[in-house]
Amino acid sequence: MAYIVGAYEHPTRKADGLSVLRLHADVAIGALTDAGLSLRDVDAYFCAGDAPGLGTATVAEYLGLRLTHIDATDCGGSAPIVHLSHAAQAIAAGRCKVALITLAGRPRAAGASLRLKPPDPDAPELAFELPYGPMPANLYGMVARRHMHEFGTTSEQLAWIKVAASHHAQHNPRAVLPKVVTVEDVLQSPLVADPLHKLDCCVISDGGGALVVTSAAIAKSIARPKVRLIGAGEAPKHGMGGQVDLTWSAARWSGASAFAQAGVTPADIQYASLYDSFTITVLMQLEDLGFCEKGQGGRFVMDGNLISGIGKLPFNTDGGGLCNNHPANRGGITKIIEAVRQLRGEAHPKVQVPNCRLALASGIGGALGSRHTAATAILERVA
């Protein structure tokens, strides 16, 4: 079992004057400092497509890393959760001892909108999609519309997810949207991709985060609370040859793998970091990970059920991508970082889950309306 011994989130939300590589370097050093380790200790490095240039080689060159193991798996925003699992496997296999994972970017300073990556002419499916103008918002909008049709889910219910995130963000001085909002505020915000409102969407922000993962033996010598990965899963879901079903996500598969490996159930989870590119993304994961029955997500999130100290399942207590930070348009690393804060007892006191010992981090990379990769990690605080 591997341990997360270092975690760091970049304080910036608009990185004027900082390059993408400098952001990766900043978070790498931040996480290593958190662990009491140095760049010289790192022998494995993990990054996704947000790293510039040649990825692992470019970052290794900048930081002067000497590596025996690399992994540049890119599946969009869920990649850091996959990296965490792969790091644990590489450590268990004896391929490395100290793994560094970074994610960083500056879409806000660069003035980029939340668009999909430029089309890849070699991706055959895109010819059947790009003429129709797919964007994250309308792809997720179709998921929300279908959920409403099948299960009676309402815009008010989706709004509760933003409301809960905003209740947490008010305690985060770095949050892009620190103001508490109401269901009415969400419903009165412009319809950007009907049925999704502006406040159903995540923020666009700069920054990033990093993790340091190591073996039990090395973790023992590090004077930080012990956070252990006890279960992980990853799975893509796609158009399935035209047998499209938008009512469920690959989190059904990645979650089942993670829970089986960890030997725990959704009812055991005290805190959940759920990918929140849009409110509907959260609702889908709640159902697919088994926190409620399929179709019951709308009822589950109402009345503050996701608010720490009020509801049954505290989620995204940093404010999440919906209110705090969605660096590089990828929310995976911040999901793990806030879960680590909760397990260490280092979340903001107003949102800290008492004696938090079991947490989950879930990511959805890509788009639920077309194709995506889900990743799930279950983390345990060890005494």
Partner 1 sequence: MKSAVSTAGSSARSIPAPVVLEETLAYWEAANGQRLLVKRCTVCKRVHFYPRDICPHCGGVDTVWEAVSGSGILYSYCVMGHGPDAHIMALVTLDEGVTMMSNIVGCEAKALRIGMRLRVVFVSGAGKPNRDGSPAQVQLVPMFTPMA
Residues that bind partner 1 (CB under 8 A): 119, 121, 124-135, 137-139, 141-146, 149, 191-196, 239-244, 246, 369-370
| Three-state SS at 291 | coil
- Closest approach of partner 1 to the CB of residue 114, in Å: 13
Backbone angles phi, psi at 156, to 5 degrees: -60, -40
Strands 44-46 and 98-105: parallel
The residue type of 115 is R
Judged by beta carbon, residue 253 or residue 315, the one nearer partner 1 is: 253
Helical (H) or strand (E) element with 58:
helix 56-63
- Closest approach of partner 1 to the CB of residue 322, in Å: 19
Chain-centre distance for alpha carbon 126 = 25
- Closest approach of partner 1 to the CB of residue 160, in Å: 21
| Three-state SS at 121 | coil
Q: Does residue 362 contact residue 374 with C-beta atoms inside 8 Å? A: yes
- Closest approach of partner 1 to the CB of residue 193, in Å: 5
Judged by beta carbon, residue 294 or residue 357, the one nearer partner 1 is: 294
- Rounded to a whole number of angstroms, the distance between the first and last alpha carbons of the chain is 15
The residue count of the chain comes to: 383
- Closest approach of partner 1 to the CB of residue 186, in Å: 17
Judged by beta carbon, residue 139 or residue 218, the one nearer partner 1 is: 139
Judged by beta carbon, residue 39 or residue 135, the one nearer partner 1 is: 135
Judged by beta carbon, residue 114 or residue 126, the one nearer partner 1 is: 126
- Closest approach of partner 1 to the CB of residue 243, in Å: 7
Judged by beta carbon, residue 133 or residue 173, the one nearer partner 1 is: 133
- Closest approach of partner 1 to the CB of residue 145, in Å: 5
**DSSP label at 166?**
H
Instruction: Give residues with Cβ within 8 angstroms of 305, minimum separation 6.
Output: 160, 164, 311, 312, 313
For the beta carbon of residue 148, count every other beta carbon within 10 angstroms.
Answer: 17
| Three-state SS at 286 | helix
Judged by beta carbon, residue 72 or residue 135, the one nearer partner 1 is: 135
